[in-house]
Structures are given as C-alpha cells and as structure tokens.
Structure 1
Amino acid sequence: MAGKRGGTAAKERLSRDVIVASALALADAEGLDALTIRRLATDHGVTPMALYWHFKDKDLLLDGVVERVLEGVEIPSYPAGSQPEWHVRLLDCFAALLNALNEHREVADLVHRRFLGSTAGLDIAEFAFAALQEGGFGRTERAEIGVQALHNLVVLVTMEPGERALRDSEEEVARRIREKKVVLQSLAPERYPNIIDCAESLVDKPADEGRYRGLGLDILIEGIRARAARQLAEPAEKAS
C-alpha cells in the first residue's frame, strides 16, 4: 500500500507542466541528445513509468517541448484603429518568434517539423497568414512563404557563423576558429579576394547577435514585400 501511495504522489508532483519545463531546461543546458525519459526520471528521483503516465514516448514529450517554446511567442497586438500595414505586422510576428527560438536554440530545429501540432503554433500561423493575405498572396503562396520563413528563422538561430561552445572548451573553439581563418586567408588572392577580405567575419561569431538576426529578418521581410509589389504590378503591365 505504501508503494502505491508513493507512486500516486510522484504522479501528482510530476505534472505535465513540470515534466515539460524540466525537459526544456535540460535540452537548453546540455543539448537535445541529453534529453531522454530515463534522464528526466533520474533527475526527479522517480522511475520512467512516472513520466510515461503523461507521455507515452519521447516523441510526445518533444511535442510538449515545442509547444512550450511556441507558447513563449508574444503574438503582436495593436490598439484599436491603429493596426500597422501588413508587412509591419508580419515583421513583428516573425521577430517575436525569432526571439522565442533564440532563447531555446538547442530545440529550435524541432519547431519547423512540429509547428502546427499545437494551438500556440496554429495561432502564430493564422496571424502570419492573415497578414500575407492582406499583402495579396493566394493560399498556395501563403503556405509556401510561411514554411520557408519558418525554416529561415530556425536557421538564423541554429546556423549562425562561428563556433558554439556548448560542449567544447573555449580553447577548443578558439583553435577551430583560428584554423578556419588560416585556410580562408591562405586562398589565392587573385581568385578569391573578397572571401579573404571577409574571412574573419565568416568564421567568427557575430559581434552583435541582435544585429545579425535583425539583418536576417530584414532580408526575409523585404524579399516578401518585393514579391508582393511584383505581383501587384503584373496585372497593370498585362493591361497596358
């Protein structure tokens, strides 16, 4: 009887929210490979079965982790009567999503595969698609732009220049950076003058990560705006 009461207490203590929060914190600190049902159970001093009560397998746990990340996205809201143009709303939405992804880089790559599997993801997508519809995009292009934009935002936080030192020592990271610089700076200057000129920026982490991500956002939004402008001009060109 005591064992049964202990098992019930563990289930009550390990709510779904507690498990997801622990899983996300573990992935943030040690990487996605460290995130296992057994590791979480050990950290909480329970058997894996206490976690399976809430998540039947790791895949469902990862769904919960992605949902938690997307719940951290602050979907833009504006005062009545002062809603900005569609591309500004889209920029604000993407910026909010990018900030949430950047806070959880180790799990960001999971997001684009599970985005529409949670209410939070659906709400973000609906906001973005409404802005794109106002920009003149049909259903197919809204979907395609949404998918590509999400991929771009994930890449902005997972594939930025430079080396990351999550599991390697700072000395090891610095060594790899030096080696990459030497390789690029040793290229034939008559053939690759611009690569040599940019070598340091190509291998170092951005000095201002916020500016780096802002540049990525600007390129993304301006590309979408340019496409909208071209589509708007096409009927007039055909009519003339």
Structure 2
Amino acid sequence: MTRLNRERVLRAAVALADEGGIDALSMRRLAQELDVVPMALYKHVANKEQLLDGMLDVVLGGIDPPLPGPDWRDVVRQRILSARRVLLGHRWAYRVIESRSVPTPAVLEYLDSMIGAFRDGGFSADLTHHVMHAMGSRLLGFSQELFDDSRGAGPPDPAMAERYPRIAELAAAAAHDGDSVVGGGCDDQFEFEFALDLLLDGFERLRERGWTSGPGGGR
C-alpha cells in the first residue's frame, strides 16, 4: 500500500474535483477515496481551505514554464494559453482562485514571472503595472481580476519582497482604487485569443511610444 503523504492527498483531491466538481469534495469523501480515516488527512492538510489551496497549487504547477525568446509577446502568449489549457482541464479551479482572499504561492509565482516577462521585454514598471490590471485574470485564461495589489498599501513586507521582487516593485509603483472590480465570465477559445492578441499588440505600441501614466505621458 502506498504511504499517505501530502502530494498523494492533494492529487486525489484534484481527481475527485475533476470528476464530481468542487462542491462534491469533502474531507470524508476524500478519506474514503484514499481508504483512510478522515483524521489521517489532517496530518497533511489542516482543514478544507488548506486542502483547496494545495489543490490549486498542484493544478497551476502544470502550466508550461516560460520559454526564453527575443519577442516578449511570444513568451507571454505561450504562457497564457498554457494556463488556459490547464484551467480548462480543471474547470473548478477558477472558482477556487476567485474565492481566495490571499493568492496561493503558485499564483504569486506565476504573477511574478509574468511581470518579469513584461519587464524583461522592455516595459517600464509604470506601464507593466497598468498592463497587469488590464489583463486581469486573462493571465490565467479566464475573465476575473487576479492582480489585486490594493491590499499592499504601505511598505512591502521584507520577506514577501525578497521572495516575489517583481510583485513588490509594482505594489510600490502606484496608488490604487480599492473599489475597482473587473467583471467575471468566460470566453470561448477564439474570442479569448482575439482579445488577447489585441491587448498584446496594444501594449507593444505603448511600449514603443514610451508611454507613462504621468502628466504628458501620452494618455
């Protein structure tokens, strides 16, 4: 019999959610699937919320890593479409992302790397900041705000800044409207890619112009 560990618990939970939906998942149902008593699960996940966080990180771990290349658009587009394929394979995952008050480590890692793709492509921190908000959850293939750094008012936590330097850089770059909300909903593949390409082309034009949100910056 395979020994119970955190990875086995999380992967079994992902499989159950894929099969029956996130609402059908419970600690008792998961314990039955693993042929253990429910209390055995709590050695690996403290509660249902920690289970959901871990499941989400397992799913996002399936996104292709960024491929280096001279064209930032190719790098960003490939990563976003990979994320969309992953989330379409786990249709419950976007609901978990939406429900989190604090992004999981895998979401933060993903956002940090996407910020890096824009910055390495020649985007200023100012333009990248607005690009991330314009993209919202399209970064992960669905239409819901992801990059909400309005909670980060004031100096960033040193430990967080060290682990996620690109996020910390943007969090300190501009003020935020705390009431701003980007609407939800999903697009089919053609509409998603159509809108994605429009956005990426528009971002490139702004980058070439040296656009800035400051006075006289071209708005």
Q: TM-score interval w.r.t. the shorter chain? A: 0.5 to 0.7
Inter-partner Cα distance in structure 1 for 2:66 and 2:11: 24
Give 1:22 shift: 0.9
* Counterpart check, 1:229 vs 2:205: yes
Residue matched to 1:215:
191
* Alpha-carbon displacement from aligned partner over 1:81-127 (angstroms, at most 9, x marks no partner): xx231111110110111111111012222235488522x43443233
Residue identity matched to 2:17:
A
For structure 2, the residue ranges without an aligned partner over 5 or more in a row are: 145-183
2:142 to 136, 142, 154: 154
Give 1:150 shift: 4.9
2:92 is paired with a residue whose SS is helix
Give 1:60 shift: 0.5
2:75 is paired with a residue whose SS is helix
Q: What TM-score, normalized by structure 1, do the two folds share?
A: 0.60
Q: What TM-score, normalized by structure 2, do the two folds share?
A: 0.65
* Alpha-carbon displacement from aligned partner over 1:186-212 (angstroms, at most 9, x marks no partner): xxxxxxxxxxxxxxxxxxxxxxxxxx3
Inter-partner Cα distance in structure 1 for 2:6 and 2:18: 18
1:128 is paired with a residue whose SS is helix
RMSD (Å) for aligned C-alpha atoms:
3.0
Residue matched to 1:42:
32
Residue matched to 1:107:
93
Residue identity matched to 1:131:
A
Residue matched to 1:77:
67
Question: Aligned runs of 1:106-125 on 2, under 5 Å?
Answer: 106-111=92-97, 113=100, 116-118=103-105, 120-125=106-111
Inter-partner Cα distance in structure 2 for 1:122 and 1:51: 26
Give 1:144 shift: 4.9
Residue matched to 1:52:
42
Question: Aligned runs of 1:136-155 on 2, under 5 Å?
Answer: 136-139=122-125, 141-146=127-132, 149-152=135-138, 153-155=141-143
Inter-partner Cα distance in structure 2 for 1:151 and 1:222: 16
Mapped contact 2:64–2:82 kept (Cα < 8 A): yes
Mapped contact 1:63–1:114 kept (Cα < 8 A): no
Residue matched to 1:17:
7
Residue matched to 1:68:
58
Mapped contact 2:72–2:121 kept (Cα < 8 A): yes
Mapped contact 1:27–1:35 kept (Cα < 8 A): yes
For structure 1, the residue ranges without an aligned partner over 5 or more in a row are: 1-8, 162-211
Residue identity matched to 2:55:
V
Higher-Rg structure is: 1
* Alpha-carbon displacement from aligned partner over 1:34-78 (angstroms, at most 9, x marks no partner): 111111112223221100111111111011100100110111324
Inter-partner Cα distance in structure 1 for 2:88 and 2:114: 19
Over 6 Å off, 4+ runs: none
Residue matched to 1:88:
74
Inter-partner Cα distance in structure 1 for 2:90 and 2:4: 22
Distance 1:60 1:136, change over 3 A: same
Inter-partner Cα distance in structure 2 for 1:115 and 1:215: 29
Inter-partner Cα distance in structure 1 for 2:41 and 2:189: 37
